[in-house]
Chain A
Amino acid sequence: MAKSLFDEKLNSGKFLVTTEIGPPKGTDVSEMIHHIELLGDKVDALNVTDHQSSVMRFPSLGGCLLIKEHGGEPILQMTTRDRNRLALQADLLLAYSRGIRNVLCLTGDSLDVGDHKEAKPVFDLDSVQLIRMIRTMESGKDLGGNDLKGKPEFCIGASVHPAADFIEPQLIKFEKKVAAGAEFFQTQGIFDLDTIRRFMQYARQFNVKILAGVIVLASARMARYMNDNVPGIIVPQETIDELASVEKGKALQKGIEIAAHLIKTIKEENLCHGVHIMAVGRESIVPDILEAAGLLTKENKK
């Protein structure tokens, strides 16, 4: 039996589309609810980011609860940066009890890139250990070896970095995540098709689903900034040039075109099992990307 709606889709052979929502910094969730309502029925699942780039925000778990309330299939992003094994397990128990059944297991960015640089980094576990911890909980035990009264069951995802400039250690880690029990992967941002082709040649031997991460760039400046400051993102020079080539005010449109083209080709050439769209703070343009990529059905064009 499928563990979640998303799990069912993962195994349906359908081309999958997921995206992500960044929660607000503060208690005003109206914009997040708007984004959930806008995107909930247009994609197969909605991630909620967990203090992305180590910037403190409304929690991922809270965002996932709102998705359950307002319609949509949540993927709980969970990093090991801020919570030790007790807190992580507790959050997973709460998530499961409220119908959140998909978890994306991440280590999390270092605090040095965020807005609370002086905080104590936790990293009690790493991403591989987090995946294994969930599998342990599913067997009815907590990480201390004690019995659980009611055990959870999750569809587990993880991340992989096919565009890394030093790929071999990344692939070793990928294989450890697969062995630990990851069922699907959302890749770090990919900007060229060769990267995903090369990676899939290797990754197809594993029984996991791969969603190519597509980042929407709003300008050449943003691309350069990300190269310098955002861990795990390497935008190739050609992409930067392409963004810089258009007249002022048209760069975002260009960014949408680039992303849509990438998605369309991935789908047409059946390069991997789906895409994960990261609009980084511009959730409202996701429908435009889907539209341009030909991924909107009649019912959800509204």
Chain B
Amino acid sequence: MILGCGTCMTVCNAGGEREVSLLHSALRLAQSRDGGEIHSFQEYTVKRQCDFEFLEVLVDRVKEKEERGPSPPPPLSGEGRVDAILSLGCGVGVQTVAERFPDTPVLPGVNTSFMGASKEWGVWDERCAACGDCRLAETAGICPITRCVKGILNGPCAGAKNGKCEANKDMDCAWALIYKRLERLGQLEKMRRYYPPRNFRTIPRPRRLVSKSEVPGGSHG
């Protein structure tokens, strides 16, 4: 089963319904070129792969043993049980699907790279690494963790030339941007302040967030 995701992955053209169908054709083509119809494919796109609730619709399609229940399953478009799920979700989606279907191999269909902003059509820039200790209030809304190659907190290294980063001439030096924006906002004193070493344990890895507010009808964890 080639499994798409209807949220972020659709928006960034990496794993929505359209990509699922393209990949499906490509796989079928490759298979027939190599001779032999060994695998049969089915496609499906859930609303969101990172949420168990949205994976329930897959139960009858994947047909893991324990899910078949006492009565025979309803007729399906695909034949029998799913041998493997090729997930076009991000890394979070792949893992959520894997957790939901313990007896089915789940394979990643994309290399999840980063959380980005869509700069222009077809261009995404990384903006946040979800570091758990947000600096944006001090850095004029420009993230030094993701946008500076070194992720340093106390100002620029000596490597920038023409405002570009030493590691990549196409990328702006984050600290040059931060300086200019702080200056414009009249907040340069924020850059003069000393920032101590980062706390890499703001949320210990692997990270879990437990909501402290009461969710009506919901459970914690």
- A-to-B contact residues, CB < 8 Å: 81, 85, 107, 109-113, 121, 123-129, 132-133, 143, 159-161, 164-166, 168-170, 172-173, 175-176, 179-180, 188, 227, 231-232, 234
Contact = CB atoms under 8 A, between A and B. Distances in A.
Contacts of A109: 159, 166
Given A123-B151, A165-B162, A107 B194 contact: no
Closest 10 CB pairs of A and B: A231-B159, A173-B155, A231-B166, A126-B152, A112-B167, A232-B158, A161-B158, A110-B167, A128-B154, A169-B179
A166 B167 contact: no
A127 B150 CA distance: 11
A55 to B, nearest CB: 15
Contacts of A132: 194, 196
A176 B194 contact: yes
A302 B55 CA distance: 80
Interface of B: 149-163, 165-168, 175-176, 179, 183, 188, 191-192, 194-198, 200
Contacts of A231: 157-159, 161, 166
Contacts of B159: 109-110, 231-232
Contacts of B179: 166, 168-169, 172
Contacts of A172: 155, 179, 188, 191-192
Given A112-B149, A176-B154, A234 B161 contact: yes
Contacts of B195: 129
Nearest to B173: A166
Contacts of B163: 166
A110 B154 contact: no
A169 B163 CA distance: 11
Given A113-B167, A173-B154, A231-B166, A165 B149 contact: no
B149 A126 contact: no
Contacts, number: 97
A173 B149 contact: no
A170 B158 contact: yes
A179 B194 contact: yes
A128 B194 contact: yes
A173 B179 CA distance: 11
A165 B159 CA distance: 10
12 contacts: A107-B157, A110-B159, A123-B151, A124-B197, A124-B198, A128-B155, A165-B162, A166-B163, A169-B155, A172-B191, A173-B156, A188-B158
Contacts of A113: 166-167
A110 B166 contact: yes
Contacts of B191: 169, 172
A168 B173 CA distance: 14
Contacts of B188: 172
Contacts of B167: 110-113
Nearest to A177: B154
Contacts of A159: 158
B84 to A, nearest CB: 29
Contacts of B150: 81, 107, 110, 121, 123, 126
B176 A166 contact: yes
Given A129-B154, A169-B156, A143 B197 contact: yes
A81 B152 CA distance: 11
A47 to B, nearest CB: 16
Contacts of B162: 165
A84 to B, nearest CB: 9
A126 B192 CA distance: 15
A301 B188 CA distance: 51
B143 to A, nearest CB: 15
